[in-house]
Amino acid sequence: MEGPSAGGESQADRGGEGRGGSSSHPSREAHPAPCPAALHGDDGGSDERLWGSLWALLPSSPEGLTLGLEGSSVVPPSVVGLLRQAAALLFRAPVGPQPGPECEACLGCSRAACDFSWEQLQVGPWREVKAAWRRAFAWGCLFRALCLCRGPIGSPREALHACDLGLLLGAPVLDNALGKMATILQRHLNPDPPGTHRPLTVTEGEPPCKVRPGLLCVTFP
């Protein structure tokens, strides 16, 4: 596989993500509202509450997802296209925790983007890995995690694994959405004893630079 192009990173490679835009896609109001009970794994509809809490971290339409890779001189258009297609499929999928064909297709696109980015993360020393590849990997992990939470194609534990990978090796995207998702999933999988309440807090931070993907043994669900 060819490595990143020789040119330096463009402003898009270093740029952050944004929000906004409007379209005819389903709005956030059409999806389940976030519910604190989803953080505690309550019985009866806990999957729907979990999905509602995770969905609330996204903008109201795919146009609101600015990948920060537009015009990149590092990440090829084919990978950016996979991520855009994954986002579009995710928003087109039926409302709720049960997957449809769109969700399964989204999982395939995001997995392909992760696989390609993963290979680029292992080229050369970690300090020389381009930030654009870390960002592409993080977006792929985010879309994969959302798909894996839905019905028989995955599980919250597999979704948490995808979030952990994105946090460890990716770059922060969408206001630290991966960190917030990981917190929600952890509390869903390990609820507090009855009568106790923990505030939802997320600490932002970069993964340690000394970590090298080549030294890790990781499998994708």
Return the DSSP state at 208: P
Q: What is the pLDDT of residue 97?
A: 59
Express each pLDDT in 153-205 by its tens digit.
788 999 999 999 999 999 999 999 999 999 999 999 987 665 555 544 444 44
**Could you tell me the two tokens for 81?**
């296209």
> pLDDT digit string (tens) for 95-131?
665 667 898 999 999 999 999 999 999 988 999 999 9
> Alpha-carbon distance 156 to 215, whole Å?
26
pLDDT the model gives residue 58: 92
Alpha helices in 23-100 (DSSP H): 46-55, 77-92
Query: What pLDDT was estimated at residue 15?
Result: 40
How does pLDDT run across 38-85, given as a tens digit for each residue? 333 333 356 788 888 998 999 988 888 899 898 889 999 999 999 999
Domain ranges of the chain: 28-192+201-215
CA distance 130 to 117: 11
Look at phi and psi of residue 29 and say left if phi exceeds 0, alpha if psi is from -120 to 50, else beta.
alpha
Backbone φ and ψ for 103, nearest 5 degrees, come out as: -70, -40
If DSSP states are collapsed to H, E and C, what string results for 6-45? CCCCCHHHHCCCCCCCCCCCCCHHHCCCCCHHHHHCCCCC
